[in-house]
Structure 1
Amino acid sequence: MSRLRLFVAVLPPAPAVEELRRAVAPLHALPGAGELRWTDVPGWHFTLAFLGAVDEELLPELKERLARAARRTEPFPLRIHGAGRFGGRALWAGAAGSIDLLRLLAERADAAARRTGIPMDGHRRYSPHLTLARSRHETDLRPCVEALGGFEGTAWEVGEMALVRSDLPVSGVPGEQPRYEVVAAWSLGH
């Protein structure tokens, strides 16, 4: 039986991604930025629930439950907003708009996975973020956070939730990124 590494996410539309890409580009020239592993622009997303390795046989039920969660959630406005860090290990862009609805969608995605029989990590408050860069060791990310902190992206309507497969790099080539593939997507509110 094969296992798929999966997560549920909101994928920002191309114009929002392009705005953020332009804002992030100058960060690559900041001191210490060369030590960071920058995430691939096409892979930028807001994770709602990380499911880990899931048995393929659970997919039909999981898809059904996620579809139900999407139908129960109305579309809502969101924009990429500001920046932050998790210690000295991860740099991220934040979100603004209907964060309560984004959190509700995350809770529903988590519940759908649990009800399907997927063991989920202990419950913690959902913190919407889009990972921009990671570091293998503690790095001073404050210059990046300060440079991007005032970023205000254009609002868009979140109208879809996606189930995404993540294939980790296997080549051992430095800087190789995970590959993401949308397995299924559901419109919100219907």
Structure 2
Amino acid sequence: MRLFAALLPPPEALDELAAALRPLRRLPGADDVRWTRPEGRHVTLAFYGDAEQEPLVRGLTALAAAHAPLRLSLAGGGGFRGGTLWTGVRGDLTALHALAGAARALGGATEHAYRPHLSLARVSRRMSPRVYEELLTSYEDLLGAFSGRTWTADRVRLLRSVPGGHGIANQYVTEATYPLAGPAGRDG
């Protein structure tokens, strides 16, 4: 069972993002992009892979009790090497990094440095590097000015990834939800 901890933006923030993405879907090369489904969009805190669920449940319960809700927004866009297009996260970033660090420590995560984002699409491996660079430049130009509404992330979810099969996006099932209930402290 592939598990991970994440924050889910509210529907209003995702609708706003979807409106900003509409022109991007018409860019040259966008047909070779596999867009994430809106209901699967999330801000990953930690990826646990095929971990036992029970220790994560205990750890996430304690973690959520120690961390306060966060004020966040989605903004801008870019791409990671390997062909993932994303939008960034702004707001209580110091607290978000602390929350992600604590979540990652539960699973002994040794992943790369944490960079808060919401993945939007994966580019086909068949796309040439030149076409990808052109698509990425256009994508960054169009989404660069995007600045979404502020929302409160008030719960962490333990999600399970269910593979979708060839050409079908993974689905994410909520295994548990943990309200963030720690003392407030904002970094803007």
- TM (norm. structure 2) is 0.89
Q: Do structure 1's residue 183 and structure 2's residue 172 form an aligned pair?
A: no
Q: Do structure 1's residue 167 and structure 2's residue 167 form an aligned pair?
A: no
User: Using the alignment, how far apart are the partners of 2:82 and 2:142 within structure 1?
Assistant: 16
> Given residue 170 of structure 2, which amino acid in structure 1 is its aligned partner?
P
Residue number among 21, 42, 45 corresponding to 1:45 in the alignment: 42
Q: Do structure 1's residue 121 and structure 2's residue 110 form an aligned pair?
A: yes
How many pairs were matched up? 175
Q: How far is the alpha carbon of 1:125 from its aligned partner?
A: 2.2
Match of 1:149 in 2: 144
Q: Do structure 1's residue 112 and structure 2's residue 102 form an aligned pair?
A: no
Match of 2:72 in 1: 78
Give per-residue Cα distances to partners, 1:27-62, cap 9 Å, x unaligned: 1001111111111111000000011112xxx32221
User: Using the alignment, how far apart are the partners of 1:79 and 1:121 within structure 2?
Assistant: 27
Whether contact under 8 Å (1:76, 1:101) holds in the other structure is yes
Match of 1:133 in 2: 121
Identity of aligned residues (%): 37
Q: How far is the alpha carbon of 1:88 from its aligned partner?
A: 5.8
> Given residue 126 of structure 1, which amino acid in structure 2 is its aligned partner?
Y
Match of 2:17 in 1: 20
User: Using the alignment, how far apart are the partners of 1:67 and 1:178 within structure 2?
Assistant: 26
- The runs of 4+ residues in structure 1 deviating greater than 4 Å are none
User: Using the alignment, how far apart are the partners of 1:154 and 1:169 within structure 2?
Assistant: 31
Q: How far is the alpha carbon of 1:87 from its aligned partner?
A: 2.9
Whether contact under 8 Å (1:92, 1:133) holds in the other structure is yes
Give per-residue Cα distances to partners, 1:66-115, cap 9 Å, x unaligned: 1111111111200001111113611100011011111111001011223x
SS of equivalent to 1:152: coil
Match of 2:185 in 1: none
User: Using the alignment, how far apart are the partners of 2:161 and 2:173 within structure 1?
Assistant: 7
Structure 2: gaps of 5 or more residues: 183-188
CA RMSD of superposed structures (Å): 1.3
Residue number among 34, 53, 59 corresponding to 2:53 in the alignment: 59
Structure 1: gaps of 5 or more residues: 115-119
